[in-house]
Amino acid sequence: MHTRRIGDVEVSAIGLGGMPMSIEGRPDEARSLATIHAALDAGVTLIDTADAYHRDAHEVGHNETLIAKALASHDLGKDVLVATKGGHLRPGDGSWTLDGSPRHLKEACEASLRRLGVEAIGLYQFHRPDPRVPYAESVGAIRDLLDEGKILMAGISNANPERIGQANEILGGRLVSVQNQFSPAFRSSEPELRLCDELGIAFLPWSPLGGISRAGELGSAYAPFARVAEAHGVSPQQVCLAWMLAKSPVVVPIPGSSRPETIRDSLGAVGLVLGAEEIAELDAV
């Protein structure tokens, strides 16, 4: 497994996104545990989650609890950096809401600590800006958690370049990650990726394959990815992740998965070397 860095921590170049194992359409627990264990066996040392990754209103933190159980039952679990998030909520009716208030973020962090069963969270990220709360106040709460030792590293998600700069300033230069949507279908985070590359901040693309319902259609929707995949004898999904890895050494994709075979396939991208012409062709999509 090739590695990259988030802050001062070395992690697998591709992580595992936990969301599909906890929201609508999720598999049974046995398959989810098998998926996480397959990722660990293949060398994954980064798992992304959030307290909002659940389906029903009464099960906040479902995905965090699931991941904690999987890590505790595997010999390699202790070597994993768990990145979780706070500030997003799911009332249980399928919608997503926001609460970026400092009080909520600090309470959410305490709850995540309990569910993950740790004294300090490896990477805690502000999930999404709340228009009702000044961004500086929300990030200030993350700074406080960092200063108090409740979290070891701090990140933000769904942020534009201005907010990346603002967050890094509030955190005293300690911003280690930015998690934004980025895929062949969603390219508007290119400026944030470039800024992270300049600053040496990890860029974690979420839904890198286009989302839960569309990941399997990547090759049919984007012909260049299918052509390059055929040339290398791999899946279009592997080509997509290899293309992202080639963009910058700060990129660490976190494809979501709920099947052992899909995460194993995704991880094959770390050894896939694309030529300059292939990368240019994919960039032009």
Phi, psi of 209 (to 5 degrees): -100, 5
135 is known as an active-site residue: no
Q: How many CB atoms lie within 10 A of CB 28?
A: 10
Question: What's the one-letter identity of residue 191?
Answer: P
Angle (CA) 133-182-171 rounded to 5° is 40
User: Which residue, among 135, 136, 108, has the nearest Cα to 124 in the 3D structure?
Assistant: 108
Q: Coil, helix or strand for 199?
A: helix
Q: Which of 53, 124, 135, 222 is catalytic?
A: 53
Q: 81-86 and 46-48 as β-strands: parallel, antiparallel, unpaired?
A: parallel
DSSP string, 108-152: HHHHHHHHHT-SSBSEEEE-S--TTS-HHHHHHHHHHHHHTTSBS
Question: How far apart are alpha carbons 93 and 52 in whole angstroms?
Answer: 13
Please, is 27 exposed, middle or buried when counting C-beta atoms within 10 Å of its C-beta (0-12, 13-18, 19+)?
middle
Look at residues 130, 148, 113 and name the one whose alpha carbon lies nearest to residue 139.
130
Catalytic machinery residues: 53
